[in-house]
Amino acid sequence: MSINIPIRLTTLAGSAGCAAKMGPQNLAQVVSPLKHAGVPQDLLVGLDAIDDAAVYRVNAEQAVISTADFFPPVVDDPYSYGAIAAANAVSDIYAMGGKVLMAINLVAWPDDLDPAILSEVLRGGADIVAQAGGAIAGGHTIIDNEPKYGLSVTGMVHPDHILTKGGAQPGDILILSKPLGTGLLTTAQKRNKVTEEDIQAAIASMTRLNLKASEALVAAGKGVHAATDVTGFGIMGHAREMALQSLTNMSFDLNAFPLLQNVRHYAELGCIPGGAQRNKAFLESHVSIAEGIDPIDQAILWDPQTSGGLFAAVDQDTWSQLANLGPEVPFWRIGHVTDQVATEAEVVLEVR
């Protein structure tokens, strides 16, 4: 198919991918009034808990998972943009331990941008949903000056096997299923500073589904105490959400973080996403960073991820099992849960 792309897609976006998310401080403020609404008994996961998706119990053996995610172009290639946005959206289903059933396209598109480009975006999204075992069942489009694409996704999970952010316990091993650095790399592309090899490595990571990682966590059973996926709030933002839900402190080894290739180089070039600055402003007072850690290395702590990996707290026996699954289902040990605390105000993340 010959497509007229008169401009790089990322130049049409104010922020790339999940870096466009509203900052955690503002988000907490705007949703706060909604938490006082009545909650049906069968709504197992809703606004009362900071989690990745809503879960509604249908019967004793079935619960529906519902989530939505969309964002502006994160890469210039239309097909890859659609695939990344779809992988990012279905990841919320996997973070809850569920399976994907169907998805609805969510589109905002400039009326002066070739519709064939949008067709490629939708094709990329549809291919990922099919790979996830689901189907595109419809969609909604509006005209907007900035392109945006994503999905509303429906999944299914057993009510007794839901993975949530709460439940991490002292002594748990903290693990991650994908390397970090997508925010830095996609910002480097937006500024025309990234190599083709490096951005293709980032695209490969962002389009890799969290399906196998989720299946491994579900199969591990009760040894998995908490789980989430790492997206726009960065590794520290999503770790703090888990720590708050679990009322625990956590310690991280920065040298153990898996990174996409040449991430540090792009941090040195100043390719810091706006979302990273918002994350840092909100989180740095809650994170204790050991003296001597280079500010360049610290950039990865706040880097907003797009279609990042699953982050989980598991017991030692479960980690021993997951560590031996091989390269098809990679997990990295990046820290541990230190101790229980009595209140959210006492929660601290330590990075050494």
Confirm or deny that 160 is annotated as ligand binding. Answer: no
CB 159 within 8 A of CB 61: yes
Distance CA(99)–CA(212), nearest Å, equals 11
Confirm or deny that 141 is annotated as ligand binding. Answer: yes
Q: How far is CA 250 from its chain centroid?
A: 19
* Cβ neighbours for 81, distance < 8 A, ≥ 6 positions apart: 9, 73, 74, 75, 121, 124, 149
Q: Which of 170, 185, 343, 157 is nearest to 264 (CA)?
A: 185
C-alpha angle 246/168/298, rounded to 5°? 85
Per DSSP, 292 falls in state T
Confirm or deny that 50 is annotated as ligand binding. Answer: yes
Active site residue 18: yes
Confirm or deny that 52 is annotated as ligand binding. Answer: yes
Confirm or deny that 127 is annotated as ligand binding. Answer: no
Q: In what order do the strands lie in the sheet with 63-71?
A: 43-45, 54-57, 63-71, 148-157, 99-109, 135-143
Confirm or deny that 265 is annotated as ligand binding. Answer: no
Residue matched to tokens 């992988």:
87
Distance CA(148)–CA(160), nearest Å, equals 35
Distances 241 to 22, 28, 166, 276, 285 between C-alpha atoms, Å: 16, 12, 9, 16, 15
φ/ψ region of 237 (left if φ > 0, alpha if ψ in -120 to 50, else beta) reads alpha
Q: How far is CA 76 from its chain centroid?
A: 20
- Tell me which of 16, 18, 75, 162 is the catalytic residue: 18
Confirm or deny that 51 is annotated as ligand binding. Answer: yes
**DSSP string across 264-284:** HHHHHTT---HHHHHHHHHHG
Confirm or deny that 148 is annotated as ligand binding. Answer: no
Confirm or deny that 229 is annotated as ligand binding. Answer: yes
Distance CA(226)–CA(311), nearest Å, equals 8
Confirm or deny that 223 is annotated as ligand binding. Answer: no
Q: Which of 322, 319, 277, 323 is nearest to 301 (CA)?
A: 277
List binding-site positions for Mg(2+). Answer: 52, 92, 229
Residues carrying an active site annotation: 18
List binding-site positions for ATP. Answer: 21, 49-51, 69, 92, 139-141
List binding-site positions. Answer: 21, 49-52, 69, 92, 139-141, 229
